[in-house]
Structure 1
Amino acid sequence: MTSSHGRRLLHLAAAVDQQTVYDADSYVAPARLAERGGLDFVTLDDTFARPGPDALSVLSRVAPATSRVGLVPTVTTTHTEPFHVQAAVATLDWVSRGRAGWRLDVSTTEGEARLFGRRNAAPADALWQEAGEVADVAAKLWDSWEDDAEIRDVATGRFIDRDKLHHVDFTGSAFSVKGPSIVPRPPQGHPVRVVDATEGHTRRTAARYADVALVRAVGPAQLAAVRDQLRASASAFGRDPDDLRVLASLVVDLGGGEYAAEPGHGGGGPRQSPRGPLYRGGPVDLAELITAWYTDGVADGFHLTPAEPRRDLERLVNGTVALLQHRGLFRTFYPGSTLREHLGLARPANQYAVAGGAS
């Protein structure tokens, strides 16, 4: 293992998307399977551009049926109300007892804009600037309740210490929020923020606000270049770059076994496809690819999207993950209970409590 990782273990996550599946219970089994493999988190995509169930609501249903795996829905920041978005994500963190994340995304098409009828479509770079503002105000609203703001004193009838609630008074380019939140500070302080940083216009937001950046890359050199850029930008924003986890994002097709692997590093791939970088091969070769990229220091981990949801997730957990565990590269149990603990990220201090000189 290279010095760039220190003693930190590999991070692994998987998508649990299922096209045209509307029954929330159908998402419980793959989430439990991911949890059995010790994965850091599962993602569930969402977009206004196609029909489908609300990802955050589905994972709120999955939360009580799981106990450790992180739950990261896509929640779009365009056309939605930032105050409601942060409250919903905070609620998922409470429902899951500290396992919530939030994958930020934007809506760029006129068709999506017409669904809401509030404003026209806007360029992607402007929408990602707005997404950064939403991420910023969300953190402020999560902090608008100090951790001990709730008194719950039955004798006096006092539920809240109002001195420990704070107005955020935030004005962005397209919205303003007064606050405080209607939801007490989440168990993690700040639920984990995830951004796909593949495209250039997303990277500023990722470097400044994301805890996890996903990068769709077909090779280690491409990934390393983006990771270096993200870490440098994070440092320029005053962040410790070691607080940003950069995960390679791949579609994995494990249906053909090891013999399906095309010539190349790690057995066979990835190769560019309409869905993004696609690895096609077997669980053993996939473990080789993950090991090579990780030990070379180009990725902190991997976010894997099964090409065939049930089949490939089972082969990933029972084959690839088991091999990585055997090699001592991946955990065999969860050392903590929150998603931040899985990722090795500290619970953020409350910016208002710190500003007020409180502990």
Structure 2
Amino acid sequence: MTTGHLHLGVALDGAGRHPAAWRSPHARPAELFEPGYWVELARTAEAGLLDFIRLDDSLGPPSVRIPGRLDAVSVAARVAPATASIGLIPAATTTHTEPFHVSTAIATLDYVGRGRAGWWPKPSRTAAEARHFGRKPVAPAGELADEQAEFVDVVSRLWDSWEDDAVIRDVATSRFLDREKLHYVDFEGTYFDVRGPSITPRPPQGRPVIGITVDGPDTLEIAARFADVLFIDASGPDEARRLRERAHTIAEGNDRDPGELRVLADITVHLADSEAQARRERTALDARSDVPVAGGLSFTGTAAALADRLAGWYTGGAVDGFTLLPGVLPYDLDHVVEDLIPILRAHGHTRDAYTADTLRGHLGLPLPANRYARIRGGITDARVS
């Protein structure tokens, strides 16, 4: 199942992707911890008919960009009832946390958003983050990747631990649920031993959309095995195409349909009405930064030129779409919605209206089958009432 158009999401983080974004005259730093700011950004993105907003998060200490942040899952839960269609993909770490808690939080978000939730699982890699908890030292990168894979697997199993029709609400027999349709996940791994089942019924989407950042061979393997969306950083379309093809090969080797993966490239955007103006504003912003500007794919110029680049990658088979990272919020998001999207729509690369009710629907992804549904003889003891 495909949608036949370019998939677009937008990353919302603080005042924008640029480390000096909050110092821009176009930013609104006084509102960064106000719920109305996030609701407004989400509604703007929804007005552009984007597939999703992606909300960053970290367990790290206050950053040099903004000394503090709000919890991404909580922000998504606030935004959900204030929007109607756009997908919501918050980050939640797979380190120093528990799969059971994350699974219920994202499942609850899917209910609050009526089938629009996703999850961006991210490992916590620094000693500073480990010191917040004091339970264990920071692990090597390979171990963090293995833990991330196991964590994602457990969360997916917990989402499946209730069958879709487990809740029956039969007043006559005093049976709220059919225990035959609840299942222990009985997961025993290197990092987690989880009995289950979840305390939250299976989410409206079955399994909310999982998006994983690909930053090396280990995470490419994990993403191709477990993710619906792969967030990649590629310097050009050839590199993106190679990553996409490799992901499809790994998926096939793990009995997954590669047609059910969506590969999206991250791209930072600084937009203005002319290329000269965009470059002037970008140069001024760079001069205000106390730290080096992050690398990765970036574009500075007009919406028309950006539209050509995005369409070229997409029609050339390099990617299924992009996650746009506005350099300054809400300024560059406004340019995306008011200038970029109409150009892409005029060329048939984006939707004219939302035609689906769920994030899976926006991305052209099917509802996943429940891995336990054919197992009869569920939970029948007194531990679940």
TM-score by length of 1: 0.92
Paired residue for 1:24, among 19, 29, 35?
A: 35
Is 2:9–2:53's contact at 8 Å kept on the other side of the alignment? yes
The equivalent of 2:25 in structure 1 is: none
Distance 1:7 1:167 in 2: 36
Alignment CA distance shift 1:215-1:152 (3 Å): same
Corresponding residue of 1:280 = 300
Residue 356 of structure 1: how far off its partner (Å)? 4.1
Contact 1:220 1:298 (8 Å CA) reproduced: yes
8 A contact 2:211–2:231 mirrored in 1 = yes
1:130 partnered with 2:147:
yes
Please show how residues 1-359 of structure 1 align to structure 2 within 5 Å: 8-19=4-15, 21-49=32-60, 50=62, 51-255=68-272, 257-259=274-276, 274-356=294-376
Structure 2 CA distance, aligned partners of 1:35 and 1:53?
21
Quote the Cα distance in structure 1 between the aligned partners of 2:229 and 2:186.
27
Return closer, same or farther for 1:80/1:278 CA change in 2, 3 Å cut-off. Answer: same
Deviation at 1:256, TM superposition (A): 6.3
1:257 positional shift: 2.8
- CA-CA distance at 1:261 after TM superposition: 7.3
Q: Tell me by how many angstroms 1:273 deviates.
A: 5.2
Contact 1:251 1:275 in 2 (8 A): no
RMSD between aligned residues: 1.9
Hey, what's the Cα distance between the residues in 2 that align with 1:97 and 1:6?
Answer: 21
The CA distance in 2 between the partners of 1:345 and 1:121, in whole Å, is 36
Worse-superposed segment, 35-44 or 152-161: 152-161
Say if 2:186 and 2:193, in contact at 8 Å, map to a contact too: yes
Greater RCO, 1 or 2 (C-alpha within 8 Å, sep 6+)? 2
Identical pairs, percent: 48
Helix, strand or coil at the partner of 2:154 = helix
Deviations 1:260-280 (A, max 9, x none): 678xxxxxxxxx951522111
Q: Contact 2:150/2:189 (CA < 8 Å) preserved in 1?
A: yes
**Aligned counterparts of 2:3 and 2:359: Cα–Cα separation in 1:** 19
Structure 2: gaps (5+ residues): 16-28, 63-67, 280-291, 379-385
* Contact 1:15–1:306 (Cα < 8 Å) also in 2: yes
Q: Distance in 2 between matches of 1:310 and 1:295?
A: 29
**1:201 offset after TM fit, Å?**
2.5
- Supply the distance in 2 between the matched residues of 1:250 and 1:105 (Cα, whole angstroms): 19
Aligned partner of residue 351 in structure 1, secondary structure: coil
What is the alpha-carbon distance in structure 2 between the residues aligned to residue 118 and residue 261 of structure 1?
47
CA deviations 1:44-79 (Å, max 9, x no partner) are: 100011331110001100000001000000110101
Supply the distance in 2 between the matched residues of 1:136 and 1:219 (Cα, whole angstroms): 31
Query: SS of the counterpart of 2:215?
Result: coil
Secondary structure, counterpart of 1:309 in structure 2: coil
How far has the Cα of 1:238 moved from its partner?
1.2
2:215, 2:231 → 1: CA distance? 7
Question: What is the DSSP-based 3-state SS (H/G/I as helix, E as strand, rest coil) of the residue aligned with 2:176?
Answer: strand
Alignment partners' CA distance in 2, 1:299 and 1:240? 17
- SS of the counterpart of 1:334? coil
1:7 positional shift: 6.5
Q: Secondary structure at the match of 1:222?
A: helix
Distance 2:201 2:39 in 1: 27
Deviations 1:289-339 (A, max 9, x none): 011110001010010000011010010011111111111111011111000
Q: Give the residue type in structure 2 aligned to 1:149.
A: A
CA distance, structure 1, for counterparts of residue 142 and residue 352 of structure 2: 41
TM-score, structure 2 as length reference: 0.86
C-alpha separation between the residues in 1 aligned to 2:278 and 2:314?
A: 20
